[in-house]
Structure 1
Amino acid sequence: MDLKVENGCIQEDKGLGWGKSLTVPSVQEIVMNDSQSVPERYIREHKDRPLVSQIFPASLEIPIIDFSLLAKGDEHERRKLDLACKEWGFFQITNHGVEEEILHKMKAAVAAFFELPLEEKKKYAMAANDIQGYGQAYVVSEQQKLDWCDMIFLITLPPENRNFKFWPLTLPGFREAMEVYTKEVQIVAEEIYANISLLMGMDRDGLRRLQGELKQCMRMNYYPACSRPDLVLGVSPHSDGSSLTLLLQDYEITGLQIKHKEEWIPVKPIPNSLVVNIGDVVEILSNGMYKSIEHRAITNEKKARISIATIALPDEELEIGPLDTMVDDHRCPRMYKKVKYVDYIRQFLARKLEGKAHTDLVKIENK
């Protein structure tokens, strides 16, 4: 039992209450002990295996948006954002204002955590009743195929929601890097929210006001090198159960792929950029106008890769459903049922990652 002190009284730490994941071996340790073998539980069915050497034309690269222009109210850049959200669900932003040194320190802090000995990392392991901490998420059965990835998941905002027992506070520079990066990336997320609000017919503060107290989480991923990257996946195909996700990638290695017109398209990193994708919440609020797209991560045989996903979530008590302004009984009938967000995220975390299965659960069958 984990205890914490609140208002002078000792109380049980009940965790988030969103879900939990089964404990599985560290992939990093598997590779350290035997870099040539791939355990059976990680080997995908033939239909799910990645084509790691597939070549795609430049026309199939996700849109690039100049954030500095977007923040100044540039109409052309806002139209590019609208198109990106409708047709791709993903885009890269350049000139976002987060200094290169801040990005570097954040990556270095995450790398330093994964360089710790296993016994040290285990001090921050996910509790039985929580998804925060070090381990793997979405592991709900002993039979499912596992991702070739270790991670640490932390709630970062609002500050009072942080559970420091999962934070490696003894690691030099970790907390400082998290504090600075968290604030900077939140500013970027709020500006994107503001522009999407305008595109959805609201004032700039519309989406932020609608979603109540916004939460921010950080999922920090470590993808070890794999001797057979054609057999495994770093992360299974899924869409995000968030409002928005902002991803800081490894600039030297392409690992992220998105599903576009039934093809898996690689997202080639642009140095010092951030990748942004629409989450299920915005898809539902927009009545399907903006798309929360399936994506996955692949591995490579030469080098480990790190990525840092900043996840923006609405207040858990918010009831999400299509906004009235996005519904037209004739042209755009209501596509989704209303559901309380905490119920949505609980069912999201109670299952393995399965593409668009989660939004399918709240879809209305229109005839």
Structure 2
Amino acid sequence: MQLQSLPVLDFSRLNAGEQEAAAFREELREVLHEVGFLYLTGHGIEQELTESILDLSRRFFELSEDQKLAIENVNSPQFRGYTRMGGELTDGKTDFREQIDIGVERSAVPADPDTANYWRLEGPNLWVQELPEMQAVVGEWTQRLSEISMTLLRAIAESLGAEPDAFDAAFGEKAFPLLKIVRYPGESNPEPKQGVGQHRDGGVITLLLVEPEKGGLQVEYKGQWIDAPQVPGAFVVNIGEMLELATNGYLKATLHRVISPLKGTDRISLPFFYNPALDSTMPQLAVAPEFQEKARGLSVDPLNNPILETYGDNALRYRLRAHPNVVEAQHPDLLAG
């Protein structure tokens, strides 16, 4: 039977008594095993905060080109800041979008020959002077979505027969979440154009918010593409390759893509990626035998695109591929010889 739309799960069931929480965990496990994507309602994020971050996103993209380029990512060793239209690649092809990358606000790690290269990703963000309130709103958004993500990870671990805190050590105070604030301009006319090419997320868990009544996201399921438009009051949730690695493929990191909107329209999208500390390795979960039997192994090409055990190695590799202009400007020593 072909799936017509993504499953919907109510996050608030985790606080509705143990029987209801256990049923939620079971459904969550099955959906992430079979599909790898879902809609999450009942998450408790206030509409006021959602409207505030969407409004700030709109206002940023309405700034002049010079104002946006003042925080262009080529000025950031951490690959933070603004990426101009066509400035990112997925699977070697140009994505038609502009965006801001915002990570955890920390000090840069001093360069040292004995320091792993992935520590170059740790450091400060770039902020536009014209929107001084943006940092506080993004900070609250990041904190709230981090809490939801960690609660989901604990539910996932418990649903698989592992200890609920199995992932805690990999995250802790050095977790490495990343928020992208993205604008897709209308490029389809009506032939579909690539907003973002097909890919699997490389981290652990993703929470996505899109402007109301805007579509474009498509999820692969059994060889077919399923449309996943924004559902009012819900996040789209999916898992990345590091969680697939932790469960030997029992949980599914699913291919997805974004189709550019029609000409004359656009789309604001806020994907939030909850990832472990750069120097952490994902634990191999002590998955219960009945689930181990259904583990499918990893879905990636182990020779050409292996999942590396240390999260920072994966994160840096993705950045090097997606933003060669930043590598040339900030990390020429990492250019392939």
TM range (shorter): 0.7 to 0.9
Residues 1:178 and 2:122 are matched in the alignment: no
2:311 alignment partner in structure 1:
341
Partner SS for 1:310: strand
Aligned residues: 293
| 1:155 to 2:115 alignment | no
Aligned to 1:78: 25
Q: Secondary structure at the match of 2:321?
A: coil
C-alpha displacement of 1:177: 1.7
Which of 97, 101, 104 is matched with 2:51 structurally? 104
> What are the residue-to-residue correspondences of 1:287-298 with 2, within 5 Å?
287-298=248-259
Once the two structures are TM-superposed, the CA of residue 196 in structure 1 deviates from its matched residue by: 0.8
User: Residue 196 of structure 1 aligns to which amino acid in structure 2?
Assistant: I
Alignment of 1:109-124 (within 5 A): 109-124=56-71
RMSD: 2.9
Given that residues 40 and 235 in structure 2 are in contact (C-alpha distance below 8 angstroms), is that contact kept between their aligned partners in structure 1?
yes
SS in structure 2 at match of 1:234 = strand
CA deviation map 1:11-59 (0-9, x unaligned): xxxxxxxxxxxxxxxxxxxxxxxxxxxxxxxxxxxxxxxxxxxxx98x4
Residue ranges of structure 2 left out of the alignment (5+ in a row): 109-121, 299-306, 324-337
Question: Are 1:303 and 2:251 counterparts?
Answer: no
Task: Determine the C-alpha separation between the residues in 2 that align with 1:306 and 1:327.
Answer: 43
Within the candidate set 171, 196, 201, 2:156 is matched to: 196
Structure 2 distance, partners of 1:223, 1:240, is 19
* TM-score, scaled relative to structure 1: 0.72
1 CA distance for matches of 2:166 and 2:284? 14
- The one-letter amino acid paired with 1:340 is T
Alpha-carbon distance in 1 for matches of 2:22, 2:309: 34
AA of the residue aligned to 2:156: I
Contact 1:246 1:276 in 2 (8 A): yes
- Measured in 2, the distance between the counterparts of 1:338 and 1:309 equals 23
- Alpha carbons 2:250, 2:296 under 8 Å: kept: no
| TM value normalised by structure 2 | 0.78
Partner residue in 2 for 1:125: 72
Q: How many angstroms apart in 1 are the aligned matches of 2:65 and 2:322?
A: 25
Instruction: Give 1:285 deviation, angstroms.
Output: 0.3
Amino acid at match of 1:224: P
On the 8 A contact 1:86/1:289 being kept in 2, the answer is yes
Unaligned runs of at least 5 residues, structure 1 = 1-55, 354-367
Q: CA deviation at 1:223?
A: 0.3
- Per-residue CA distance 1:210-256 (angstroms, 9 max, x = gap): 44532211011100122525241111111111111100112211111
Which of 206, 223, 235 is the aligned partner of 1:245?
206
Distance 1:249 1:71, change over 3 A: farther
* Aligned 8 A contact 1:243 1:278 in 2: yes
Q: Summarize the alignment of residues 176-325 of structure 1 with structure 2, pairs less than 5 Å apart.
A: 176-212=136-172, 213-226=174-187, 228-301=189-262, 302-320=264-282, 322-325=284-287
- Structure 1 distance, partners of 2:11, 2:33, is 18
Q: Percent identity?
A: 26
Letter in 1 for 2:6: I
Equivalent residue of 1:124, what SS? Answer: coil
Q: Deviations over 1:265-287 (max 9, x none)?
A: 11122112111110111110011
